[in-house]
Structure 1
Amino acid sequence: MLRSILMGFVAGQRSMTPLAAVAAAARQGTLPPDALLREFVAHPVIAGGTVALAAAEMAGDKMKSAPDRIVPLGLIARTLTAAYAGAALARPGERVAGGAVAVACALGSSYIGWRMRCAAMDRYGQTATGVAEDALVLGSALTVALSPGLDRRG
């Protein structure tokens, strides 16, 4: 369930990135074979669409008019994408729990990430902090989605 938890933290920072990461995992074969909507998100058009949404969100985040991630619509989007990604990355029998824990992590990390970003923006500006955050979020999302070994019990 570690992948679900970590993807929830990702969703707290960027709502569309978990979808793109899950699509990448479906295309690479690192998504559990019976994951919800696996074949759908693996389709090239759908996978490409998720990447476009994630890229648009990252670009929009640098605009002065970008809303805070903690506005209600932003939290709804994070809740939905975290629930799906958390469930899709979880093992069979743990899908509901994986979705639920991902949502909890997304909501909590939305507020923490927002406060951290506000503090950083005062010193480094919106664009620089956004680019740094994007790099961290994208790298984390792909690592989590493409590393099924994170959930192996030793």
Structure 2
Amino acid sequence: MLRSFLIGLVAGQRGMTPLAVIATATRGQEIPAALPLQSLMLNPVIAAGTAAFAAAEMAGDKMKTAPDRTVPIGLAVRCITAAYAGAALAPRDRRALGAAVAVGTAIASSYLGLAARKWGMRRYGQTATGFVEDAIVFGSGLAIANPALFGRRR
């Protein structure tokens, strides 16, 4: 359940990143394509699409007009992607629990992450804090879903 919890932290900051890292893990055979629609992530076009959505979200986050991550639609997206990724990273017989853990973590970390980001923005600005947050979130997401990329097996 640790990986489900950790991917929930990622989802709370960037809603599309969990799908991108799950697609990477699925294509790299780090996790089995066992969930509904997960076999689609084996397709390179679909996998690239998840990465494009994650990149677009990261780019949009730097805009002054970007909504807070805690607006209802933002939380809904985070809950959906957290549930899917949390289930994908959970043991086969505990997928529902993995999804629930990831969703709960995503909601809580959305609010905590927003507060931390606002604090950082007052000192360092929106763009700089966004790039730092992106690096931490994307790197963490990759490490959580794909430990072999970093020389570790789960």
- The equivalent of 1:11 in structure 2 is 11
Q: Distance in 2 between matches of 1:75 and 1:150?
A: 32
TM superposition score normalised by structure 2: 0.94
Q: Distance in 1 between matches of 2:62 and 2:34?
A: 37
How many residues align structurally?
Answer: 152
Please list every run of 5 or more consecutive structure 2 residues that lacks an aligned counterpart in the other structure. Answer: none
The 8 Å contact of residues 33 and 39 in structure 2, kept in 1 or not, is answered as no
Q: Distance in 2 between matches of 1:150 and 1:66?
A: 36
Q: Secondary structure at the match of 1:34?
A: coil
- The equivalent of 2:113 in structure 1 is 113
- The equivalent of 1:126 in structure 2 is 126
- The equivalent of 1:135 in structure 2 is 135
Q: Distance in 1 between matches of 2:15 and 2:33?
A: 24
Q: Tell me the C-alpha RMSD between the 2 structures.
A: 1.7
- The equivalent of 1:102 in structure 2 is 102
Q: Distance in 1 between matches of 2:101 and 2:126?
A: 30
Q: Which runs of 4+ in 1 moved over 6 A?
A: 148-151
- The equivalent of 1:24 in structure 2 is 24
TM superposition score normalised by structure 1: 0.94
Q: Distance in 2 between matches of 1:45 and 1:76?
A: 25
Q: Distance in 1 between matches of 2:66 and 2:111?
A: 16
Please list every run of 5 or more consecutive structure 1 residues that lacks an aligned counterpart in the other structure. Answer: none
The 8 Å contact of residues 144 and 150 in structure 1, kept in 2 or not, is answered as no
Q: Distance in 2 between matches of 1:63 and 1:34?
A: 37
User: Is 1:144 aligned with 2:133?
Assistant: no
Kindly state the Cα deviation for residue 42 of structure 1 after the two structures are TM-superposed: 1.9
Q: Distance in 2 between matches of 1:120 and 1:11?
A: 19
